[in-house]
Amino acid sequence: MKEALEPIEDFSLNLAGEKGKEVILAISGRLALENLHRFRSELKKRWTEMYPAKLTVDLAGVDYLDSAGALALVQMESEAQARAVSFSFSNVHEEAQRIMGLIDREALTQPPLIPEKRSISLLEQVGEASQRIFADLVQMLTFLGELLTALFSALWHPRSVRWGDVLFYMKRAGVDGLPIVGLIALLLGLIIAFMSSLQLKQFGANIYVASLLAVAMVEELGPIMTAILVAGRSGSAFAAEIGTMKINEEVDALITMGFDPVRFLAVPKVLAAMIVVPVLTIYAIFSGLLGGLIIGVLGLDLTVYSYVQETKRSIELFSLVSSLIKSVVFAMLLAGIGCQRGFQVQGGAEAVGAATTSAVVAGIFLIIVTDSAFALALHYIR
């Protein structure tokens, strides 16, 4: 092939042979990006003219070929194969072979990374959404089974647990979360006590503000608000950490070295959450009651002693124990869903962000659903 750094001439197509039989298509001149559209249009017309049983493309006269032209030639070959036409190149210069060798023929058969947008009906949208939800549910249940198996194995063989990592995640999920959990619970106690006092003081029942707040914080608000805050702080962090390891192929490296990723990565996070979330729940309950005490003393003219005594009278041991049990279950759910979403990551940074968001949303949803189930079950148990 001639060295052609400067434009030489436009392309030309010459046909030789009989229609419906063997046809030789001779291409000459310059086949490059600037005339690619005209080349494809001309080639489409020739296809309708020749209908060959066998097609040979002669490249002896090609003076210049760039990667766009090479792609057009490869696509011509793919189209011939799709039409069941025997196809071959002839007189291919060394430089043309090198350029055409750069084309990944398998990649041309793969679907595009960004699928073509198409308008679908409402029924199709509902069907696709149902399929995604069902597939996600199956993946969650599968991961839950693997996680429970790993947790039981860790309890049976405690030396296999990476306790150093457990302590590290206890600090991140527990100690580092104390300020925000305490502040939110304190403000929540202030708000509930103030709003309830506006109604109760009309009947001279200011003392019952303590009872109302105690029951609300111990039975519902303490465990659920703590779980939601931990899901936003730690569940998202778990998903982002494992997701980043997934796209960096660190998880694949663990599998290659013979480690179980669930036991190696997920178990320390879940154990840490199951230990610290009940402690955070007690801390949140205490902070919420302290907020109510501030309103009771400063706004309702109650004494500290009377407020504390009414609070103690309203709190039952059964309610406190059931709240701690709920907090353990919430911790396993939010840590587990964070790890599961992290293991699902495929792609790049955008996929990590999507997994983090999904971990928080799914974690809060599971917490609400589980709390509803606990409310019904505890009502009949009591």
pLDDT tens profile 298-337: 888 888 888 889 888 888 888 899 999 999 999 999 999 9
Q: What are phi and psi of 110, to 5 degrees?
A: -80, 150
Q: What is the mean pLDDT of the chain?
A: 83
**Range ranked top by mean pLDDT from 42-46, 90-94, 218-222:** 218-222
Q: Which residues neighbour 35 within 8 Å (Cβ) at sequence distance 6 or greater?
A: 10, 11
Letter string b/e over residues 79-98, b meaning 16 or more CB atoms within 10 A of that residue's CB: ebeeeebebebeebeeebee
Three-state secondary structure call for residue 182: helix
Q: What value does the mean pLDDT take over residues 73-77?
A: 79
Helix 236-247 to helix 317-343 angle (10° resolution) is 20
Three-state secondary structure call for residue 29: strand
Do the Cβ atoms of 173 and 232 come closer than 8 Å?
Answer: no
Higher per-residue confidence, 187 vs 346: 187
pLDDT value at residue 227: 92
Integer Cα distance of 89 and 24 in angstroms: 10
**Range ranked top by mean pLDDT from 23-32, 148-157, 184-193:** 184-193
Task: Label residue 67 by pLDDT band (50, 70, 90).
Answer: confident
Integer Cα distance of 8 and 29 in angstroms: 7
Three-state secondary structure call for residue 125: helix
For the stretch 104-107, contacts whose Cβ atoms lie closer than 8 Å and that sit 24 or more positions apart, written own/partner, are 105/74, 105/78
Integer Cα distance of 341 and 266 in angstroms: 11
Q: What value does the mean pLDDT take over residues 359-373?
A: 91
Integer Cα distance of 292 and 313 in angstroms: 15
The kind and range of the H/E element at 71 are: helix 67-82
Percent of the chain with pLDDT over 90: 21
User: What letter would DSSP give residue 111?
Assistant: P
pLDDT value at residue 7: 40
Helix 36-50 to helix 67-82 angle (10° resolution) is 20
Task: Label residue 173 by pLDDT band (50, 70, 90).
Answer: confident
Task: Label residue 2 by pLDDT band (50, 70, 90).
Answer: very low
Q: What value does the mean pLDDT take over residues 131-150?
A: 87
Q: Which of 367, 339, 329, 132 is nearest to 244 (CA)?
A: 339
| Amino acid at the residue 231 | A
Torsion of CA 183, 185, 186, 191, to 10 degrees: 120
| Amino acid at the residue 258 | G
What domains can you pick out in the chain, each with its CATH number? 12-109 (3.30.750.24), 150-381 (no CATH)
CB neighbours (10 Å) of residue 47? 16
| Amino acid at the residue 66 | D
**Range ranked top by mean pLDDT from 117-121, 204-208, 347-351, 362-366:** 362-366
Q: What are phi and psi of 13, to 5 degrees?
A: -120, 130
pLDDT per position as a tens digit, 217-235: 998 899 999 999 999 888 8
CB neighbours (10 Å) of residue 106? 6
Task: Label residue 103 by pLDDT band (50, 70, 90).
Answer: confident
Q: Which of 329, 168, 339, 331 is nearest to 262 (CA)?
A: 339
Place of tokens 């303590």: 210
**Range ranked top by mean pLDDT from 23-27, 102-106, 365-369:** 365-369
